[in-house]
Copies of this chain bind each other. A is one copy, B any other.
Amino acid sequence: MRVTPITTTGGIERRPFWNSYSRYLTDLRPDAALLAGETADAQENVFLGSNGEETAFLCEAVRGAGGVTMVQVESVVNGPLPQVDLPADRVVPLFTRDPSRITPRQVLMAMMVIKGIYAPYEVRSLNHGIGYAPAAIELLLPTYGESLGLKGRVATHWWLNPHPTLIPAIEAGSVRSIYSLGSEVGMERYAAARPKIFFTTPGGELLTNRLFAQVAGQYGVDCFVGATLQVDADGNSSTANRDRISGFGGAPNLGSDAPGRRHPSPAWVKAGKERAEALRWAEWPSIPFRGRKLVVQVTPTVSEKGGMPVFVPELDSLSLAHEGGLEVAPIMLYGDDLTHIVTEREIAYLLRCATREERRAAIRAIAGETPVGRSEKPEETLSLRRRGLVQTPEDLGLDLSQVSLDQLAARSLADLERISGGLYTAPTGEFG
């Protein structure tokens, strides 16, 4: 049995866990934690398996607050533990994206991301959320990406869960390191066999920590790629919709620029220069340079299942917040934190827009057959394309005849198992 750690928030007012972490050290000082682990020894040392996540932090916060921590384990063993960890919080199983479910539209968007963002910005370090479009990118890196000459130049350092869809890129030698926030079922032996890539213990256990991963995602990566359910005309997005309320995960933290970053990388510098150029900062005296993290939303204009418009005049979350009496509406990512939105039609380079009006024009230009897209003005879109604020696949020089499922380095879970040399074992059952 696994237990949820106690928090003082709940229901619709529940805030992103990432905000709570810092509050456990300030105004939400925890009195108690109920945690779960894999095994314990007679001395009550606890072994977590490979899902450490934020446990070390929760324990520390409760311990420092003089609170009580209770740990439940699967079994108490006599011999030595594989390693001594702190107690684990509830394991949230993460579901493998089966390559056989990737659609041609997702392949197209993935190619646009590689050709239109990863290549020109030289994105070296990055974070992918879980989803079919990111999975498609991962599976295209050793094929399409390599054909563009990107091997070893982009997407070398990652923080993300150990997605099986990264196996082909790892085996192709184009991945240098992966830090994980949690584990993924079936990846245990593969991660243990690739200790130079994954962060593992000497015994081969995957080291994971959700807090550390969030910090890495905030300061240590050039680019965040996320998805959403609704986007408004300003690019604000939320997964709190009238018919489906999903959590934000770490997106609010990851999907924004950390203003405290000071170390340069090619992507961070180029993004900063584009922003400075758009805002004409160069015309002012004495503006010290600062870079910018890339924050990319990848979304079809209408949902893959059900064909619901993703681009809407007003987010459901605003009326949900109003009805629920919330002081602040649950926005996952604010539009002015984004640098790019990618749909199956075009990429909006929001970073290159000088004004809010220009950003709105770029967004309606890429929004297709949706309420937002219907206010597109063809003349305006042409001008935005000429200036590089909006780019179609053709503008990017992307050969549409190449858009094919055959580009994927693996077409099935069985392919992934094979490419892993039998080290990865796909779990059985249903995957979302």
Contact = CB atoms under 8 A, between A and B. Distances in A.
A418 interface: no
A329 interface: yes
A302 to B, nearest CB: 20
B179 A212 contact: no
A314 B285 CA distance: 9
Contacts of A63: 199, 201-202, 207
A233 B158 CA distance: 39
A97 interface: no
Contacts of A15: 262-263
Interface stretch (A21-29, A374-382, A388-396): A21-29
A169 to B, nearest CB: 16
A64 interface: yes
A340 interface: no
B331 A288 contact: yes
B315 A288 contact: yes
A286 interface: yes
A27 B289 contact: no
Contacts of A259: 252, 256-257, 259, 334, 337
Interface string A219-252: 1110000000000111010000000000010001
A431 B263 CA distance: 33
Nearest to A20: B263
Interface string A58-76: 0011011110000000000
Identify the interface centre among A22, A26, A29, A212: most chain B CB within 10 Å of its CB.
Answer: A26
Nearest to A221: B26
Interface in A366-420: none
Contact of A262 (B209, B257, B328): B328
A260 B19 contact: yes
A48 to B, nearest CB: 13
Given A15-B263, A64-B200, A232-B286, A179 B315 contact: no
A217 B260 CA distance: 12
Given A26-B157, A63-B202, 16 more contacts: A18-B219, A21-B215, A22-B218, A25-B179, A25-B212, A25-B213, A26-B177, A26-B221, A27-B125, A63-B207, A64-B201, A211-B212, A256-B259, A259-B259, A262-B330, A290-B328
